[in-house]
Amino acid sequence: HLRNAQGHTQHWNDWPEEFRDPASPAVEAFARDHADEVSYHAFGQWLMARGLERAQVAARSAGMRIGLISDLAVGADGGGSQAWSRQAELLASLSVGAPPDVMNRDGQNWGISAFSPWGLRQHGFRAYIEMLRANLAHAGGMRIDHVLGLKRLWVM
């Protein structure tokens, strides 16, 4: 019931109401009832982390002083796990992009959500700090996509 007719996952806003709150009893029961599937995805995350760690060690061993450089996006998929699990800290119903200019008269809608300044402040910037830590867990540096977005974003 969290997938559409084609078997693809749906935006969490399209899930049944009881699953939209990540702390709900229904979500807890779902995780318990689907423990094998949850474990499968957790294992995939572990494999990716292990692969990144090995790549970082190999890069450093090959003489690259920094090693890997991660990429920090200016936002996140409004239908993704971060937007679902951090609803108070993201502007999931809005999208960010670029204002109109000579090259793009209508501006650009990037189709991604951004952090809520008020939500971040209210939660001690926890989601942002965790994102930075995750980005640097297996890298010696980080490229910030649209770095100006840390100061101001075009929200639509």
Is position 134 within any domain? yes
Residue 59 falls inside a structural domain: no
pLDDT confidence of residue 74 = 82
* Helix intervals (H) in the chain: 25-33, 35-61, 81-85, 117-122, 126-136
Domain assignment of residue 96, yes or no: yes
Residue 92 lies in a domain: yes
User: Based on the structure, what is the number of domains in the chain?
Assistant: 1
Alpha-carbon gap, residue 15 to 9, rounded angstroms: 9
The answer to whether position 150 is within a domain reads yes
| Domain encompassing residue 82 | 68-156
Point out the residues of the chain with pLDDT beneath 70. 1, 149
Q: Nearest Cα to 56, choosing from 137, 145, 146?
A: 137
* pLDDT reported for residue 21: 97
Angle between helix 25-33 and 35-61 (nearest 10):
80
**35 belongs to a structural domain:** no
pLDDT, one tens digit per residue, over 111-146 is: 889 899 999 999 999 999 999 999 999 999 999 987
Q: Is residue 34 part of a domain?
A: no
pLDDT (0 to 100) of residue 148? 72
In a domain, 24, yes or no: no
pTM value surpassing 0.85: no
